[in-house]
Amino acid sequence: MSGSPELHELTAEAAAAEIRARRLSPVELVDAVLARIEQLDAGLSCFATVDPDGARAAARAAEAQVTSSAELGALHGVPCSVKDLIDVRGLPTIRGAVPFTDAVAQADAPAATLLRQAGAVCVGKTTTPEFGWSFITASPVTGRTLNPWCPDRTAGGSSGGAGAALAAGMGPLAVATDGGGSIRLPAAFTGVVGLKPTSGRVPTYPPSDLGTLGHLGPMARSVRDVARLLDVLTGHTQAEPGPMAHACGRPVEHLRVGYSPALNGGPVDPEVRAVVDGWVADLVAAGVPVTRFDLVLDGVEDTWDRLYAQSITRQVDALTPSAREQLSPQLRAFVDSTRGLPRSAGPDAELVRRAVTARADAVLRDYDLVITPTTSTVAFDAGLEHPGTVAGVPVGLTDWARLTQVWNLTGFPAISLPAGTIAGGLPVGVQIAGPPYGDGMLLALAAYAERALGSRLPRRVAG
């Protein structure tokens, strides 16, 4: 494959196989990805930190291991990015915030350790809003992260850098975090795949200030790559396929699948709904029975908002007064707006959260898996903090993202994959959720859909 101009488009699975077969040099692959970053990142702002020297040194070491016939890991020589809320030894963990611009990690988070053990090459840290607080990716440190499909639109947040980098070919894999949709929303907006695993399946360090709302998980351009990366993040770093990769080949025709086009009757853009309706119809035609129903889980909205508000406020209040002054006006205004919440808001919300989880568990006794749109809208203008309206209904900072938030409240796994595009060409995501530790089951359905329905995107993002 030497000299191929399309190395940046390789899946991780294909790249790892080519490297093990000695048909692809890890150095050549990493150089191609770094060249892609140099070409496109200035216009998209996907990376908070790029580490070309470290990545090339790791690639040279990976190549030496291949030629010496050493035992190779699952992702040997494959480039990967890590969201800038996760520690990677020797690289800054800026967290999107000016007060942390000089904070260099002294040790790896567990995820970074597992990536190294699997042989992956970290090319850099992807952008995030301050502390991952927003559903768009913009910060005083890195500016706005833009959508490669349409650079005047947002890439979503808070893992917008990861999603945009994948869509633009700046590496095949990304590790990100999700406290209310931060993996799945950017995946939907940028036309890639993102999985929020079952709560606790992947170790999260530094600990999320969102508590058990916060998850760490994989993003990629294919379901199989997401499964492969999830195996690594849960400790299966060897070359042979792990349990999540094996799950991608399981039969799915027997599954009881439910489809709800909304949550609690909330607004969904008609174009988004039409694309997901079409995806579900095609899935049925491909042999998977799907039952239409209305997903009603009372209490999601206020419960998630209260827990989220208190967690962000705790992070800001832990800073010195001078450090708080360095935060964006938007974040400071949001924190000021939460000051009226009673002290009991958090404990009260946790009680309601248990009830929401019990109701979701009851739904997943009727259905093995539940399909919804990932988002209520497509990517909106990059200068906005939220879409303003959805299907003619006014929406605020967080309430356009309820379809993803519910699965953070419950801790249940959920994946977003491309369902197609609206007339203007912007991607639409479809979300599949399942019961606790049903990650393999939802990966099986997602992988089946990816095979049976083919690519739902009309083109790859060009450079």
- Kindly report, residue by residue over 42-81, the tens digit of the pLDDT: 999 999 999 999 999 999 999 999 999 889 999 999 999 9
Q: How far apart are CA 124 and CA 37, in angstroms?
A: 10
Token pair belonging to 277: 């309706």
For 191-288, where are the alpha helices, taking DSSP H only?
Answer: 223-233, 243-247, 270-285
> What was the pLDDT predicted at 1?
44
**97-151 pLDDT tens trace:** 999 999 999 999 999 999 999 999 999 999 999 999 999 999 999 999 999 999 9
- Give catalytic status of residue 69 as yes or no: no
**What pLDDT is attached to residue 210?**
85
- pLDDT tens-digit map of 209-265: 888 999 999 999 999 999 999 999 999 999 999 999 999 999 999 999 999 999 999
Amino acid residing at 308: Y
Residue 425 near residue 159, CB atoms below 8 Å: no
Give the single-character DSSP code of 230. Answer: H
Residue 15 has which token pair?
A: 């790249």
Q: How confident is the model at residue 208 (pLDDT cuts 50, 70, 90)?
A: confident
Closest listed residue to residue 272, CA positions, set 156, 405, 421, 433:
421
| Summary mean pLDDT of the chain | 96
For the stretch 310-344, pLDDT in tens is 999 999 999 999 999 999 999 999 999 998 888 77
Q: Is 125 a catalytic residue?
A: no
Q: Which of 45, 139, 158, 328 is catalytic?
A: 158
| Residue 25 Rama label (left phi>0; alpha psi -120 to 50; beta) | beta
Q: Which of 350, 366, 367, 365 is nearest to 411 (CA)?
A: 350
Q: Cβ of 321: how many Cβ atoms within 10 Å? A: 6
Instruction: Name the band, by pLDDT with cuts 50, 70 and 90, for residue 5.
Output: very low
Phi, psi of 317 (to 5 degrees): -65, -20
Candidates 83, 134, 196, 260; catalytic one = 83
Catalytic residue among 81, 159, 182, 376: 182
Q: Is 158 a catalytic residue?
A: yes
pLDDT of residue 463: 63
Instruction: Region of 143 please: left (phi>0), alpha (psi -120 to 50) or beta.
Output: left
- Provide the sign of the torsion angle of the four alpha carbons 216, 219, 224, 229, taken in this order: negative
Residue 458: count other Cβ atoms within 10 Å of its Cβ.
10
Q: How far apart are CA 231 and CA 241, in angstroms?
A: 8
Give me the pLDDT at residue 257, please: 98
Largest CA distance in the chain: 63
Strands (E), 4-78: 47-50
Nearest to 416 by CA among 217, 126, 270, 129: 217
Integer Cα distance of 141 and 457 in angstroms: 32
What is the C-alpha separation between 255 and 249, in angstroms, rounded? 14
- Residue where the block lists tokens 């799915």: 252
Residue 253, judged by CB atoms within 10 A of its CB (0-12, 13-18, 19+), counts as: exposed
User: What CA–CA distance (Å, rounded) separates 49 from 246?
Assistant: 34
Q: Which has more confidence, 463 or 398?
A: 398
Question: Please, are residues 269 and 241 in contact by the beta-carbon 8 Å criterion?
Answer: no
Within 8 A by CB and 6+ apart from 109, the residues are 86, 87, 88, 203, 205, 206
Structure tokens at 362: 């009851």
Neighbours of 384 (CB within 10 A): 11
Considering Cα of 38, then 39, then 45, then 46, what sign does the dihedral take?
Answer: negative
Strand, coil or helix: 104? strand
Peptide bond into 261 cis (omega under 30): no
- Sorting pLDDT into bands at 50, 70 and 90, what band is 3? very low
Radius of gyration of the chain (CA): 21
Helix axes 12-20, 223-233, angle to 10 degrees: 70
